[in-house]
Structure 1
Amino acid sequence: MSDESDGADLAWESIDSDVAYSCPGFDVVHERVVLPDGTESDYDHLDEPPAVVILPFTPDGDVVVIEEWRQAVGRVNRGLPAGSVEPDDADFERAARRELREETGYEADDLTALTALEPSNGVTNTVHHYFAAEGCTPTASQDLDFDEAIDVGTTPYDALYESVRDGDCRDARTALAVLYYETLGPASETARS
């Protein structure tokens, strides 16, 4: 594959699009598309707003984690605070600060943008914006949505990293945040110096 390819010969053409189903958090979009070989087909995907994922560190270096029921997989998930960007969020950092406060009751002294990734671009158009938050302290009560039940705790960073490395952490957002932080973010810079 050439590094100079713009992918135009791979592009699909959307000839019709409508919302097949709408619910809080996302829409299911149905499209009629023309494939590169001229074949017409149907394609459905989730239309979701951007989201933020926060890797929040307490002043002593522990990570603030949450446990939340995830109906799609039928179990409690241990992971990082995350949530959708809302229309009144001025930017992604503001959304990250809001989600951290609402889900955990913690607030951060400093936020550093880590990366932005498309977690599942074969079925959804959402982009997750990752942040490391430093100096996180409990300053308020949780302000959860009606369908959220979240327990908040802390864990040593090394224990969280080990759970990702060993495959015990099943939450992809958490794994991506930790692995990015460890290999390309501030943790890797500390290890290199």
Structure 2
Amino acid sequence: MKKFEEKTIESETIFEGKVVQLQVDRVKLPNGKESHREMIKHPGAVAVIPVTSDNKIVLVEQYRKPLERSLVEIPAGKLEEGEPPEKTAHRELEEETGYLASEMTYITSFYTSPGFADEIIHLYLATGLKKADEPLGTDEDEFVEIMECTLEEAQKLINEKKIYDAKTAYALLYLSVMKNS
């Protein structure tokens, strides 16, 4: 038995969309009582830290409807069924930025909101960047603006709350630690 394990008694899918599924489980708690857990099921995603040969970070700005505002972020996207994360990383980098990477280095994976979602993000560092001759282009419902900035400039964007998401903050923290080690 896993520490603090909650045994599923019953599971019901409430909604199944293009990106997520909402599931409600009735569970037996470690103390024997019952409760309900509302969960978002997600196929997982990748996020890429693209760094140019002159040490600029390639970022994208895009509108985020749940927040009703634009954010500056590292390129990222959902895993397609059966697609290995590294392949997704290359695809998302090209789609969102027009760059190809000769080196795609796995850094780590992390859960975004484990209290209610099973989404995992696989984080990669992309180097050896060059512009694609004919880039894949973004999805038809995705609009992004590309920007390149230094680590110091990106940290200012955090202070200005233009970078305001966990994956990008985590990525910049990683770059900062690597720079100082």
- Does the TM-score normalized on the shorter chain lie above 0.5? yes
Q: Structure 1, unaligned stretches of length 5 or more? A: 1-5
CA distance in structure 2 between the aligned counterparts of 1:7 and 1:177, rounded to whole angstroms: 31
Is 1:37 equivalent to 2:37 in the alignment? no
Q: How does 1:1-193 map onto structure 2 within 5 Å?
A: 7-8=2-3, 10-89=4-83, 91-139=84-132, 140-164=134-158, 166=159, 168=161, 169-183=163-177, 187-188=178-179, 191-192=180-181
Residue identity opposite 1:82 in structure 2: A
Deviation at 1:146, TM superposition (A): 2.8
> By how many angstroms is 1:147 displaced?
2.0
How many equivalent pairs are there?
179
Task: Please give the alpha-carbon distance, in whole angstroms, between the structure 1 residues aligned to 2:9 and 2:139.
Answer: 37
> Which whole-Å deviations, capped at 9, do the CAs of 1:108-149 have from their partners, x for residues lacking one?
111111111111100100111111111222213352223211
RMSD: 1.7
Q: TM-score, normalised by structure 1?
A: 0.86
| Runs of 4+ residues over 3 Å off in structure 1 | 161-164
Shift of 1:162: 4.1
TM-score relative to the length of structure 2? 0.91
Q: Distance in 2 between matches of 1:114 and 1:181?
A: 11
The secondary structure found in structure 1 opposite 2:24 is strand
